[in-house]
Chains A and B, each alone.
Chain A
Amino acid sequence: MNAPTRPIFFDALRRNKSTAIAATVALGIVLAALPFLIGSHLGNSWLRILDFALLYIMLALGLNIVVGFAGLLDLGYIAFYAVGAYLYALLASPHFGLHLPVWLIIPAGAALSGIFGVLLGAPTLRLRGDYLAIVTLGFGEIVRIFLNNLNAPINITNGPQGISGIDPIRLGGVTLAKPIDFLGITVPSLHAYYYLFLALALLIVFITIRLENSRIGRAWVAIREDEIAAKACGIDTRNIKLLAFAMGASFGGVAGGLFAGFQAFVSPESFSLMESVMVLCMVVLGGMGNIPGVILGGVLLTLLPEIFRHGAGPVQQAIFGKVLLDPEALRMLLFGLALIVVMLYRPAGLWPSTTRRREFRGDAA
C-alpha cells in the first residue's frame, strides 16, 4: 500500500534540493542526539546494543557486496571479522606486549582480511551457488577451529580462553574508554564509541553507494545476473569476483578491529557459524543488494533478539504470574519464528531494491 508512496518521496528529495538538505540535516540531528536520548531513557545496556548495531551494519554492508551485488553466497563471512578482531587483539594487548596505535592496526586489519578474502576467492572461482556456500562455510569453520587451537605448541591465540585486556581505541592521545571532556560537554565512553562507529559506518555507506553505480559495481551486478554474458561483454570476471571478495572482507576486517577495541576481549566463541548466518540474514531479510534495506536488516536483527530478551521474562510474569518458560530459549524461538514469517510474506526482503521488486513480481506472475 505504501509501495508507490516511497519512490515518490525519494523522487521529491531528488528533485527538490532544499528538501533534501533539510532531510539530511534532520537525519544528522537525530543520529547525533540518539545516544543521549537512549542513554537517558533506556540506560547503558541499550547504548551498547546501539554500538553493536553499527558494527553489524558495517558487516552487513560488507557481506552485501559479496552476496547482494556479486551474487556469491558466502556463509563464512564472520571469518574476516575474526581476522580483523584477532589482529587488533594481538597487536594491542598485553598478550604479546605490543601496543601499536589504532590508525595502524585498523587499516592493517582491513588489508589482511582482504588478503584472506582473495585466498578464499581464488580457489573457489569456478564454484557457484550452494557449492560456494558450503566451501565458504568450511573456510569460516577452519578459521574458527584454528583460533581455538593455536595455543599449542606455540601460544598465538590463547585458545578457547581468548585474549583479554585489549587496549581501548585511542584517537590522538584520547582514550575512548573513559569519559571525554569536549568543549565543556562530557561525552561518556559508550557515546564516544557510538560517534566513532557512526562515522566509519557512514564512510562505508558512502563507499558502497559510490561503488554500486561505478563501473565495478555494475560489473558485479552483471556477474550476478549472468556470468557468461558478463564475460562476453568483456568483464574480467576473475578479477572482478576476487575484488568483491576482497572489498567485502576488508569491511569485515575494519568492523572486527573496532569490535576488539570496544569489547576489550576476543574469543573464538564470538565467531561461530551462527554469526555468519546472522549477518547473512540481515542482508537477505533487509533486501539483498539494496543499501537502505541492508541497513534496516542490520538494525532490526540486532534489536529483535535484545527486545525479546528483555521482554520474554517480564511478559510471562505479567500474564501467568511466574516465568514458565526459559526466557533465553523463548527469545531465540520467537526470533526464529520472526525470520520465517518475514520471509513467507516478503520473500524479496523487507525493503528490496526497485529492480529486484519488479523482477520478483514478474517471476511470481
Chain B
Amino acid sequence: MDIFVQQIINGLVLGSIYALVALGYTMVYGIMGLINFAHGEVVMIGAMVAITVIKLLADSGLPGVVIVLIGLFAAAVACMAVGFTIERVAYRPLRKAPKLAPLITAIGVSIVLQNVAMLVWGRNYHSFPPILPTSQHEILGATITSLQVAIVLIAALTMAGLMLLVHRTRLGRAMRATSENPAIAQLMGVDIDRIISLTFVIGSALAALAGLMVSANYSIAHYYMGFILGLKAFTAAVLGGIGNLAGAMLGGILLGLIESLGAGYIGDLTGGFLGSHYQDVFAFFVLICVLVFRPSGLVGEKVAERA
C-alpha cells in the first residue's frame, strides 16, 4: 500500500512539471497550429540559468528561498527573451509557408539552443546547491518532502493563474479570439503579432519555472535534459487534447501518474519480463492507445483535420 501511495506522490510531482511544460506547447499550438519543437530547450535554458545564478549567490548569506526566487526571476527573464526571439526569427517569417517549413526551423532552433548551452555550460552535469530547507512528512506510510509539496502547490497556483488570465482578462480574450480565427480577430482590432509574441513569452516563463522545478527536484541539470522532457510534455499535451489548456494540465498529471505507476508495477505485471526501464514505452503506448480510440485527445473537442 505504501508503495502505491509513494508512486502516486512521485507521479503527481512529475506530472505537475510535465503539465507546466505542456501548457507552453498547447498555447502555441492553439494559437498558431504549430508544434514548437524548441520548447523543451527553453526549459533547459531556464534550468541552466537558474542553477548558475543560484550557485553564484549560494554563499551570499541570503535565505535559501530568496536565492531561489532570484534564480527563478533570472531564468524567467532569460527564457522570455529566448522565446520572444525564437518566434521573431524562426516562426514569424514562415507563418504563411507550407506547414512543414516551421517544423524544420523549430528543429534547427532546438539544435542551436542545445549546442549554445553546450558551449556556455559544457558537457558536465550541474548540481543544484542544497540551499532549500528540506523536511520530510509521512502521509499514509509514504514520504513527501517539503520541496515536493511546494512544487505541486506552486504548479497548481500558476495554472490557476493562467486559467484566470486566459478566461477573465482582455488579453486572454484576445488570445482566445486569435486561436479561433486570426483573420477575424485582426478585423476586430486584435494585434495578432503582439498576441502571438505574448503567448510565446508567457509559455517561456512557465518553462523557466518548470526548469527550476526539475533541477531542484532531481538536484541536477544538463545541456541535453530539454529534449526528453520536451518530448514527454508534448506527449502530455497531445494526451489531453492539444490546443486545450485544461487538457494539457490533465494530460501532464496523467502522464506523470502513468509513468511512475507503470515503472513501479510493470515488473510485477509481466512476471519480471519487463523492468522499470520500460517506463518510456509505457507512456508512449498509452499515448498511442488514446490517440487511436480518441484521436482528439481526452478533452479535445474537434477531430484534427489539419495536414
Contact = CB atoms under 8 A, between A and B. Distances in A.
A62 B284 CA distance: 24
Nearest to A125: B292
Interface string A354-365: 001000100110
A344 B291 contact: no
Contacts of A235: none
B304 interface: yes
B306 A130 contact: yes
Contacts of B184: none
Secondary structure at the B interface, as helix, strand, loop or mixed, is helix
A135 B288 contact: yes
B112 A336 contact: yes
Q: Which DSSP category, helix, strand, loop or mixed, fits chain A's interface? A: helix
A333 B107 CA distance: 12
A348 B108 contact: no
Interface in B250-287: 272-275, 277-278, 280-281, 284-285, 287
Contact of B305 (A128, A152, A336, A364): A128
Given A333-B116, A336-B109, A347 B94 contact: yes
Contacts of A152: 275
Contacts of B234: 134
Nearest to A150: B274
A325 B116 CA distance: 10
B281 A129 contact: no
B307 A129 contact: yes
Interface string A139-169: 1011001101100110000000000000000
Given A127-B291, A134-B234, A138-B287, A332 B97 contact: no
Interface string A109-139: 0000000000000011011111101110111
A284 interface: yes
Interface in B77-130: 89-90, 93-94, 96-105, 107-112, 114-116, 118-119
B299 interface: no
Nearest to A140: B284
Contacts of B35: 130, 133
Interface in A248-292: 273, 277, 280-281, 284-285, 288
Nearest to A352: B98
B64 interface: no
A330 interface: yes
A332 B108 CA distance: 10
Contacts of B29: 130
Contacts of B93: 344
B288 A123 contact: yes
Contacts of A329: 115, 118-119
A217 to B, nearest CB: 18
A71 B291 CA distance: 19
A123 to B, nearest CB: 5
B115 A330 contact: yes
A34 interface: no
Given A128-B304, A145-B278, A343-B104, A336 B94 contact: no
A347 B93 CA distance: 10
Contact of A336 (B115, B277, B291, B304): B115
Contacts of A124: 291-292
Nearest to B111: A336
A195 interface: no
Contacts of A336: 107-112, 115
A11 interface: no
A284 B93 CA distance: 17
B168 to A, nearest CB: 29
Contacts of A127: 291-292, 295, 304
Interface in A216-257: 224
A335 interface: yes
B104 A339 contact: yes
B238 to A, nearest CB: 5
Contacts of B235: 134, 138
A73 B278 CA distance: 26
A220 to B, nearest CB: 13
Which of A71, A138, A337: most chain B Cβ within 10 A? A138
Interface of A: 67, 71, 73, 123-124, 126-131, 133-135, 137-139, 141-142, 145-146, 148-149, 152-153, 224, 273, 277, 280-281, 284-285, 288, 325-326, 329-330, 332-333, 335-340, 343-344, 347-348, 356, 360, 363-364
13 contacts: A128-B307, A129-B304, A134-B238, A135-B291, A152-B275, A288-B98, A288-B100, A330-B115, A339-B105, A340-B90, A343-B105, A344-B93, A347-B94
Given A145-B277, A277-B107, A348-B98, 7 more contacts: A130-B29, A141-B231, A332-B114, A333-B112, A343-B97, A348-B97, A360-B97
Interface of B: 29, 35, 89-90, 93-94, 96-105, 107-112, 114-116, 118-119, 231, 234-235, 238, 242, 272-275, 277-278, 280-281, 284-285, 287-288, 291-292, 295, 304-307
